[in-house]
Amino acid sequence: MQKKSQTTSSKRPRLSVDVANRLRKLIDDRTWVAGQQLPTELKLIEMFGVSRTVIREAISALGAEGLVVPQHGRGVFVAEHLPARPFRFGDSSIGETDHIRQSMELRLGIETEAAALAATRRTDDELLAMKRALDIINQLNSESVGGAAEDFDFHVRIAEAAHNSYLVDFMNFLGTHIIPRVVLRLEFGAERDAFFKELIEHHTAIYDAIEAKDPVAAAKAMRVHLSRGLVVNRAVESSLSIAE
């Protein structure tokens, strides 16, 4: 009996978060506009197929964000003055395929320039920190092992060497979610090894260009790296969908 209670309790937060995301999307998409009354609690229960508690938790979460306002005796309304939409990364409202594509495109816009700036502005100490991070990720990749945290650390070192605090803060805000590793789901022997060999070559080329203080080569190497990652992960995701 106790085990059942724990299971129910563990599921509730996930349900309420899912419902909150779906409700939020209706507001973000302007399906529900400012000042509009939300459906009654009973209708929301029927709409989402969840309990009254889940609906109330989801509405409470939206209220805390300033998206909805309860009016005593009348119901819940979309706020008249909606707050600016916050930036959300890894939003569960989009699928993994779209997340990978969009995050890699975002990285192309940010990290290509970061690499060029790092090649121009890096110090010897920053280059040393970058080399240490490179050695760690290259060692893992040489064993056909991927490390999201180690890969991310290498890219953060590049951002730090760009001497732009906004770049570093934004990278840290995004976190390791920007390292898509759908490809690691597959066990494909020689092809897997070739993938990691290519990662080593890409990371090393980025480092070499920054070490040589060549911003054009650094930007090109980063673009090649991220563009290839986008293509590979898209292909693997497609093959997984077909297999399913």
pTM of the model: 0.61
Strand ranges (DSSP E) for 25-145? Answer: 68-71, 75-78
* Cα distance between residue 174 and residue 59, in whole Å: 27
pLDDT at 28: 84
Structural domains in the chain plus CATH codes: 7-78 (1.10.10.10), 96-243 (1.20.120.530)
> Taking residues 215-242, what's their average pLDDT?
77
pLDDT at 235: 60
Higher-confidence position of 1 and 169:
169
* Cα distance between residue 221 and residue 35, in whole Å: 50
pLDDT tops 90 at residue 216: yes
* Cα distance between residue 137 and residue 46, in whole Å: 50
pLDDT tops 60 at residue 185: no
> Taking residues 19-24, what's their average pLDDT?
90
> Taking residues 20-38, what's their average pLDDT?
90
* Cα distance between residue 169 and residue 42, in whole Å: 43
pLDDT at 88: 62
pLDDT at 234: 62
> Taking residues 190-207, what's their average pLDDT?
89
> Taking residues 111-138, what's their average pLDDT?
97
Strand ranges (DSSP E) for 100-235? Answer: none
pLDDT at 72: 86
pLDDT at 96: 65
Q: Please identify which residue in the block is written with the tokens 């920190």.
A: 129
Token pair for 5: 């209670």
> Taking residues 76-92, what's their average pLDDT?
72
> Taking residues 12-24, what's their average pLDDT?
80
pLDDT tops 90 at residue 37: yes
Token pair for 209: 């260009």
Mean pLDDT across the chain: 83
Confidence of residue 181 (pLDDT cuts 50, 70, 90): low
pLDDT tops 50 at residue 70: yes
